[in-house]
Amino acid sequence: MTSDAAGTPPERDEWARRFTQQAASCRELGSALYARLLELVAAEIHAGTATWDLLRRSGHLRFGQAAPLRLLGAAHRLALTGGAPDWAEVLPSCGGSVPASDEALLVSWRTLVDLHTEALGAGLEREVQTNEVARAPALALAVAEARMRETRLVELGCSAGLNLRLDHFEMDLGGVVLGTSGSAVQLRPEMRRGLGGLRHSGLVLPVVSERVGIDPHPVDPTNPEGAATIRSFIWPDQLDRLERIDAAIGIARSHPAELLRCGTGVGPGTGDGGAPGAESGTSEPPDAAAVLDSVLDRGGPAVVMHSIVWQYVPPETRWAITRTIEEHGESASATAPLVWVRFEPDQWDRRRAAVWVRSFPSGSDRLAAHVDYHGRWVEPL
């Protein structure tokens, strides 16, 4: 298939832009392989090749649903699980070597698409499962600053819930160590500002009494299928991230978390009215706000956290979640506080994320840190 004489159709233009924008993000975040590959795929879309034939079947995917990462995640999964040995040969995560020329990389990509169209198409329907363990230090800093002795840790958009085990990671923030010394997960982000003053003195993580994750598509990291899903969304030329994920999966096997499925519907009462996370026939489970409400109803101190999730949540659901937290905040106390930690894009500078902490019963909201999206650096404030 070739491009139309009058130029690329608008639909193809829009899809190609998704890939070039993701390429820029990958380049900024240190994946030269994905930056190159996504640019090549964008050109394939413009040209109307087999890659475009594959993607246009998923025309229902909106911009925020990360179709480029879904596609490359599906390709990586095939390589990791032995289904695409030729593609594995170009991926460092599989012991391969990235071709020096774009031409050679493109030949490998086209072969993959020709041989595995159906599997790649199925992968486009799979949610991106981001489990960035390196975000844990910034989250842990915010949790430690809350000065709680014990807490229930609740994560929205948890995916596999690896960061629900952050107290079992060793996190060195410029000489201040949080978590478990000697952990298999060692995290030492660049500290762009030191931890000083009363706010940062004597920091220690609370005892985690309960770990609860809420997600429309939770992944069990303790079984091979779930582990393969998590690993597939690690960028294959970032071997340090893959090593961290593997170590975190090992910790997850030893320290269980409760993973609850929520619906993808909007607002309170969207689900079937059954138990949170439960399914009845083909009915959708309760929405995220309803599931969160049931978890917070258990009482006691609680931290609700999420990282790079808000952009994927419909506005009505964001409002419902916010209202749920505020309602429970009204009954929080000094002995049973509620803390809301948000690691999300900085609204003033989209090149970085910001960690905000809202504490109840006071209701105060504070900017705790600026941070790299993948946790490579932290700037406490």
Q: Are 257 and 161 in contact (CB under 8 A)?
A: yes
Q: Are 31 and 375 in contact (CB under 8 A)?
A: no
Share of the chain above pLDDT 90, in %: 82
Q: Are 231 and 73 in contact (CB under 8 A)?
A: no
Whole-number pLDDT of residue 238? 96
Sheet holding 186-187, edge to edge: 176-179, 170-173, 186-187
DSSP state, residue 42: H
Question: Each residue of 310-331: pLDDT tens digit?
Answer: 988 889 999 999 999 999 999 9
β-pair partners for 234: none
Q: Are 179 and 140 in contact (CB under 8 A)?
A: yes
Whole-number pLDDT of residue 281? 43
CA-to-CA separations, 361 to 108, 127, 358, in angstroms, rounded = 57, 35, 10
Q: Is the pLDDT of residue 150 over 90?
A: yes
Q: Is the pLDDT of residue 259 over 50?
A: yes
Whole-number pLDDT of residue 225? 92
Question: Each residue of 22-33: pLDDT tens digit?
Answer: 999 999 989 999
DSSP string for 165-222: GGGGSEEEETTEEEE-TT-SSEE--EESS---SGGGTT--PPEEEEEEEEESS---TT
Question: Each residue of 291-303: pLDDT tens digit?
Answer: 999 999 999 999 9
Query: What is the pTM assigned to this prediction?
Result: 0.86
d(Cα 68, Cα 70) in Å, to the nearest integer? 5
Q: Which residue has the tokens 């932290």?
A: 378
Whole-number pLDDT of residue 8? 63
The domain limits of the chain are 10-124, 133-380
Whole-number pLDDT of residue 196? 76
Whole-number pLDDT of residue 63? 67
Confidence of residue 61 (pLDDT cuts 50, 70, 90): confident
Whole-number pLDDT of residue 80? 96
- Residues with Cβ within 8 Å of 330's Cβ and at least 6 positions away in sequence, in order, are 360, 361
Whole-number pLDDT of residue 284? 80
Q: Is the pLDDT of residue 114 over 50?
A: yes
Q: Are 261 and 217 in contact (CB under 8 A)?
A: yes
Whole-number pLDDT of residue 58? 82
d(Cα 313, Cα 320) in Å, to the nearest integer? 11
Mean of pLDDT over the chain: 91
Mean pLDDT value across residues 57-68: 80
Q: Are 237 and 33 in contact (CB under 8 A)?
A: yes
Mean pLDDT value across residues 357-370: 97
Alpha helices in the chain (DSSP H): 10-28, 32-47, 50-55, 67-80, 85-88, 102-115, 117-124, 136-145, 224-232, 239-254, 288-296, 315-329
Question: Each residue of 187-199: pLDDT tens digit?
Answer: 999 999 988 776 7
Whole-number pLDDT of residue 239? 96
Q: Is the pLDDT of residue 102 over 50?
A: yes
Q: Which residue has the tokens 């952050």?
A: 166
Question: Each residue of 197-253: pLDDT tens digit?
Answer: 767 888 999 999 999 999 999 999 999 999 999 999 999 999 999 999 999 999 999
Whole-number pLDDT of residue 57? 87
Q: Is the pLDDT of residue 381 over 80?
A: yes
Q: Are 172 and 188 in contact (CB under 8 A)?
A: yes
- Residues with Cβ within 8 Å of 22's Cβ and at least 6 positions away in sequence, in order, are 34, 38, 66, 68, 69
Whole-number pLDDT of residue 280? 36
Whole-number pLDDT of residue 257? 98
Mean pLDDT value across residues 250-268: 82
β-pair partners for 342: 306, 356
Mean pLDDT value across residues 130-157: 95
